[in-house]
């Protein structure tokens, strides 16, 4: 374990170590969300079909997912500062290439580069925070870092809409590329490699270092806790990234303006939930309560919220409350990451966190596709949407998964 900082030093260390790394998550969220705003412009300029636009959005996700395990190994061997500097420079290159792209193939390549470039955002923060802060502080510090990331998603909505007539979509990507270059420079200059007095862990052969992933995936804590913890984040990825909008249209009967307002509520709730859940997890650890108490309480709350959504409410006030609480409680997922990594040596944190994240990304792929398959069991509505009954069964699936994960963790005590 690295030398922990005192309570008085926390803010200074956060400002120097955690905050620069947190801005990579700002870039991550901005780059992932921006196609929702500029997608129609790209489709018009490059003559893209809906499937081509969808593949363009998925290309960044693919780069992000494929890089997880190699990035985790790199974080443990070389540290957050070096890995994040290199990756953020790659992200800057990808964003710049997107800004000057002459055609669809270059757009795809640039999205892949960007996805790899931002792939260590959360895990690099976990690695650095685990080195610089006491175990009971890590969840709270990480939660506040995630606020920066969530603001990236907000920044590319209304602000980008206002900027497009002046900058064009290419100009917006030039701004993002410049921001990425700035972040990479700040990380290289300001973030230390490790706390003072801490010596690097002796290196083993590359094969031995890679074999650590086998230890991680077989570890009892990983097997017991990861299913429940990742499902919290899976729910946010699944609904914020895809299914919340269609649900509000097809079940709640909302028009475009009302849906946009409620999705903004969703984003703000996620922004608020990250620091609250992180802080509560840190308080629970500090007081000797079960470290995963907050994520498990949030899992129970999520199950109740989904059961209420299965009734098909349409009252605006009720919808506002439910779709605020949904992401607010789901924001406890990263707090669970921090607790699970503490079951492993500090030298393994990069690999443990990316193993958890890789599991989460695979789960998102499976759950999103499962929901789509369930909705397709019913004929499309006259308006072109999906049958509300299908959404009820889809929510039943995720309720069952979360309940099963909680029972699994309880039975494997």
223 and 353 belong to one structural domain: yes
Q: How far is CA 148 from CA 20, 168, 248, in A?
A: 10, 25, 27
How many percent of the chain have pLDDT more than 90?
42
228 and 159 belong to one structural domain: no
Angle (CA) 106-89-272 rounded to 5° is 100
Judge whether 207 lies within some domain.
Answer: no
Q: How confident is the model at residue 241, as a pLDDT?
A: 66
Judge whether 396 lies within some domain.
Answer: yes
State which of 191, 220, 245 marks the end of a domain. 191
Judge whether 205 lies within some domain.
Answer: no
Judge whether 202 lies within some domain.
Answer: no
127 and 261 belong to one structural domain: no
pLDDT, mean over the chain: 87
Judge whether 129 lies within some domain.
Answer: yes
326 and 273 belong to one structural domain: yes
187 and 223 belong to one structural domain: no
Q: How far apart are CA 102 and CA 2, in angstroms?
A: 48
* Contact (CB, 8 A) for 294 and 338: no
Q: How far apart are CA 240 and CA 79, in angstroms?
A: 31
Judge whether 198 lies within some domain.
Answer: no
Neighbours of 122 (CB within 10 A): 25
Judge whether 197 lies within some domain.
Answer: no
* Contact (CB, 8 A) for 46 and 55: no
Q: How confident is the model at residue 309, as a pLDDT?
A: 95
pLDDT for residue 282 is more than 70? yes
The boundaries of the domain holding residue 295 are 212-413
Q: How far is CA 100 from CA 61, 122, 160, in A?
A: 21, 29, 18
- Collapsing DSSP to helix, strand or coil, 215 comes out as helix
Which residue in the block uniquely carries the two structure tokens 């900058």?
Answer: 167
Angle (CA) 247-249-253 rounded to 5° is 115
Q: How far apart are CA 148 and CA 29, in angstroms?
A: 9
Name the residue among 169, 159, 11 with its Cα closest to residue 100: 169
Average of per-residue pLDDT across 352-365: 88
State which of 161, 191, 221 marks the end of a domain. 191
- Collapsing DSSP to helix, strand or coil, 42 comes out as helix
DSSP state of 348: G
What value does the CA radius of gyration of the chain take, rounded to a whole number of Å? 21
Q: What is the CATH number of the domain that holds 130?
A: 1.20.1250.20
pLDDT for residue 281 is more than 50? yes
133 and 219 belong to one structural domain: no
Which residue in the block uniquely carries the two structure tokens 């792209």?
Answer: 101
Choose the weakest-confidence range: 4-18, 124-138, 202-216, 392-406. 4-18
Q: How confident is the model at residue 307, as a pLDDT?
A: 97
pTM: 0.82
State which of 139, 156, 191 marks the end of a domain. 191
176 and 280 belong to one structural domain: no
301 and 178 belong to one structural domain: no
* Contact (CB, 8 A) for 381 and 250: yes
* pLDDT digit string, tens, across residues 132-189: 888 888 888 888 888 888 888 778 777 887 888 888 999 999 999 999 999 999 999 9
Q: How far apart are CA 153 and CA 31, in angstroms?
A: 8
175 and 272 belong to one structural domain: no
Question: In the chain, how many domains are there?
Answer: 2
* pLDDT digit string, tens, across residues 312-350: 999 999 999 999 999 999 999 999 998 999 999 888 888
Q: How far apart are CA 133 and CA 129, in angstroms?
A: 6
271 and 169 belong to one structural domain: no
* Contact (CB, 8 A) for 330 and 232: yes
The dihedral built from the CA positions of residue 332, 337, 342 and 343, taken in this order, carries a sign that is positive
231 and 374 belong to one structural domain: yes
* pLDDT digit string, tens, across residues 373-386: 888 888 888 877 88
* pLDDT digit string, tens, across residues 61-115: 788 888 988 999 999 888 899 999 999 999 999 999 999 999 999 999 999 999 9
* pLDDT digit string, tens, across residues 225-239: 999 999 999 998 888
Q: How far is CA 136 from CA 140, 304, 341, in A?
A: 8, 29, 12
137 and 224 belong to one structural domain: no
Judge whether 201 lies within some domain.
Answer: no
pLDDT for residue 2 is more than 50? no
* Contact (CB, 8 A) for 332 and 232: yes
């Amino acid at each position: 374990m690295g030398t922990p900082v005192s309570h008085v030093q926390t803010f200074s260390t956060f400002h120097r170590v955690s905050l620069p790394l947190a801005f990579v998550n700002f870039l991550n969220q901005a780059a992932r969300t921006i196609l929702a705003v500029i997608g129609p412009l790209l489709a018009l300029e490059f003559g893209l079909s809906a499937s081509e636009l969808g593949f363009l959005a998925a290309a960044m996700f693919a780069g992000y997912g494929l890089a997880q395990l190699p990035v985790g190994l790199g974080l443990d061997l070389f540290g957050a500062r070096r890995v994040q500097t290199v990756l953020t420079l790659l992200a800057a290159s990808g964003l710049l290439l997107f800004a000057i792209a002459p055609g669809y193939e270059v757009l795809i390549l640039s999205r892949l580069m960007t996805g790899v470039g931002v792939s260590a955002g959360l895990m690099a923060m976990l690695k650095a925070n685990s080195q610089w802060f006491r175990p009971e502080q890590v969840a709270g510090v990480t939660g506040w870092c995630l606020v920066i990331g969530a603001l990236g998603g907000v920044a590319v909505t209304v602000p980008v809409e206002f900027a497009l007539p002046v900058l064009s979509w290419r100009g917006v990507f030039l701004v993002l590329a410049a921001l990425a270059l700035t972040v990479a420079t700040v990380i290289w200059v300001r973030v230390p490699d490790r706390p003072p007095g801490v010596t690097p862990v002796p290196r083993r052969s590359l094969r031995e270092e890679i074999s650590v992933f086998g230890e991680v995936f077989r570890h009892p804590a990983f097997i017991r806790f990861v299913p429940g913890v990742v499902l919290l984040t899976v729910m946010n990825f699944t609904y914020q990234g895809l299914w919340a909008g269609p649900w509000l249209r097809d079940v709640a009967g909302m028009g475009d303006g009302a849906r946009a307002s409620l999705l903004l509520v969703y984003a703000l709730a996620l922004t608020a939930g990250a620091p609250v859940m992180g802080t509560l997890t840190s308080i629970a650890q500090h007081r000797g309560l079960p470290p995963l108490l907050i994520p498990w309480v949030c899992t129970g709350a999520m199950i109740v919220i989904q059961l209420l959504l299965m009734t098909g409410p349409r009252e605006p006030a009720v919808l506002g409350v439910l779709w605020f609480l949904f992401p607010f409680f789901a924001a406890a997922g990263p707090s669970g990451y921090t607790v699970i990594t503490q079951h492993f040596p500090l030298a393994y944190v990069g690999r443990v966190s990316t193993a958890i994240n890789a599991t989460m990304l695979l789960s998102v792929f499976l759950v999103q596709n499962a929901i789509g398959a369930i909705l397709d069991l019913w004929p499309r509505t006259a308006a072109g949407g999906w049958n509300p009954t299908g959404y009820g069964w889809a929510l039943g699936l995720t309720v069952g998964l979360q309940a099963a994960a909680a029972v699994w963790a309880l039975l494997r005590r």
